[in-house]
Each structure stands twice: as C-alpha cells, then as structure tokens.
Amino acid sequence: MTGAPLVQQPSGARAWLLSPEPASRWQARLGRFYLGWRAFSKNPLAVLGLGVVLLLILVAIFADLIAPYSPIIGGNLRTERLLPPSAAHWFGTDDLARDIFSRVVYGSRTTLWVVMLVAIIATPIGLAMGTVAGYLGGWVDTVLMRITDIFLAFPRLILALAFVAALGPGIDNAIIAIAITSWPPYARIARAETLTIRNSDFIAAVKLQGASTPRIILGHVVPLCLSSLIVRVTLDMAGIILTAAGLGFLGLGAQPPMPEWGAMVATGRNYLIDQWWVAAMPGAAIFVVSLGFNLLGDGLRDVLDPKAAK
C-alpha cells in the first residue's frame, strides 16, 4: 500500500466497512475482517504465501482439467520411460513412463487432503484439551497435561512411524498418525492462553451472570485462543506436509500407484544422478507448498497475534 494517499475520500463500501457505528452483527464482523485483511495485505510475502495456498487448492480442485495425462496409467514403456522435460512432458516422465507433471498435479489432492484432515482432527483435540485444562486447573489440569507430556516426549516422526506400523501402511492411517502426534503443542498453546485470561474481569463478569463452565469455555475462552492457534497450525502445515511426504518416502504413507509427492521422491532416488527430474519435480512442489504455508502463517501471526501487533 504505497501509492494511494490517505486524503482520498473512502468509497461507499469502504466507509460501510469501517463505520464506527455498525448497524448489524454482520457489518461489525466484516469491518473487523476488513481491517485484518488490510494489515495482512501490507505484507507482500504473506500475500505470496496466500497465493501459493490458493493455487494449491485450485490445482487440487481442477486437477482433471489441468493434467494432460493420466497420473496412474503410463505410456509406452519401451519409448517413453524417463524422458527429460519437454513440450510434451513438462516435468518429464518417470520409470513407468507416467507424466510427472500430471502426477504432481494429482498429488496436490493428496497433500491438501492430508493437511485438511490433520487440521480438522488435531486442532479441536488440542484446543479442547488445552482450554479445559487451563480453565479448570487442579487435578484435571495435571492429568491432561501429563497425557500431553507423554505424547510430547516422543519424536514426532518416530511416533507417527510407530502408529502407521501398528495401523498398517496407507494414506488414511498416515493422516491419523500425524493428527495424533501433532495435537500436543496446540494443547500447550491453548492452555497458556487460557491461563492468561481465566482470571480476567470479563470472565469473572460472565461467571457472575450465572454462565455454566462449558458456556464460558466455548463462548469466551476459545475465541481468544483461536487466533494464536490458527497461526500455529498454519505454520505447522509445512511440517505436516513434510511428515506425510516422509512417511510416503518410507513406503508407509500413500501406496502405489497413488500419486503422492513423498513417494514420488522416493522412486526418483534411484535415478537421481542421471534422471534428476524424477525426484526434483515433486521435491520442488513440496518445497513451494511448504514455503507458502510458512509465509502465510507468518503473515497471519502479524495480523492475529495481539502481542506482536503494534
């Protein structure tokens, strides 16, 4: 936001959003959202990160239209194996004569599926454990936090490996294993946030109105924990993608012939010196998407974390 001087009269929509006297719940909420967006869009790297994440989502949705070849059925094994990048095959072909570009495009679905499911499973578990432990305190806090400690005591990838080995290899079990191992830090963050607000006057005030404990936790504590948790989850997305890719690389995640970036890097390892593109292309995809999530998380932290802002 460098060009536009502030003297210009705000347009109708802008004035409506920034009105100091909103006329409805929605206007108040949208106004807040708009202010957040304005702060967010001042950070070019964060916008770049958001762009990458949006691109990932679009590619995953329209994979059928974007990919020129089938991701599973290869071409002629005698003539089309391990071809270098060209106009016909943008990212080259792999050892089974499959178009790598198509596989990377379809692989975005797997990646997005993993990221979404882990976020949907792990965030609520961590949030619930943390806020309940922090708000109730006492023995509830001790029990829940010791459970969290047990999970935190293991290295994440090793624990995920153990879970996948027990549950059997496959992308769904990999998702469950990653979700089970990634909630403890969220519980810790939610608990720390809860501890700072549980003794504040506005919680005492709602207690004095006769609110029940679940009502206080859900309606008053959770909204204040949510923003720092969203930031943390977004920053963790890169790690989740890498863990999923790592499990795929070890053959414990997605099973062939399912296109998954980590498993694709694993097959490319055999041809790394002579046919570099087999491993490099999916590797670059992992790198770009991880970086995108990291940049987005950084930008969100600047907007959502009240301690970092101003």
Q: Which residues bind to another protein, rule: CB under 8 A?
A: 20-25, 27-28, 32, 200-202, 204-212, 215, 219-220, 223-224
Beta carbon of residue 209, minimum distance to another protein (angstroms, whole number): 4
* DSSP string for residues in 71-120: SSS---TTTSTTPPS-SSSTT-B-TTS-BHHHHHHHHHHHHHHHHHHHHH
Q: Which is nearer to another protein, 188 or 220 (CB)?
A: 220
Task: Please state, in angstroms and rounded to a whole number, the distance separating the CA atoms of residues 29 and 39.
Answer: 16
Beta carbon of residue 20, minimum distance to another protein (angstroms, whole number): 6
Beta carbon of residue 205, minimum distance to another protein (angstroms, whole number): 5
Beta carbon of residue 113, minimum distance to another protein (angstroms, whole number): 32
Q: Which is nearer to another protein, 29 or 269 (CB)?
A: 29
Closest among 115, 125, 108 to 57, alpha carbons compared: 108
Q: Which is nearer to another protein, 133 or 216 (CB)?
A: 216
Q: Which is nearer to another protein, 11 or 24 (CB)?
A: 24
Beta carbon of residue 309, minimum distance to another protein (angstroms, whole number): 12
Q: Which is nearer to another protein, 24 or 76 (CB)?
A: 24
Quick one: tokens of 152? Answer: 């935190």
Task: Please state, in angstroms and rounded to a whole number, the distance separating the CA atoms of residues 161 and 243.
Answer: 10
| Residue 69 neighbours by CB under 8 Å, 6+ apart | 75, 89, 98, 99, 101, 102
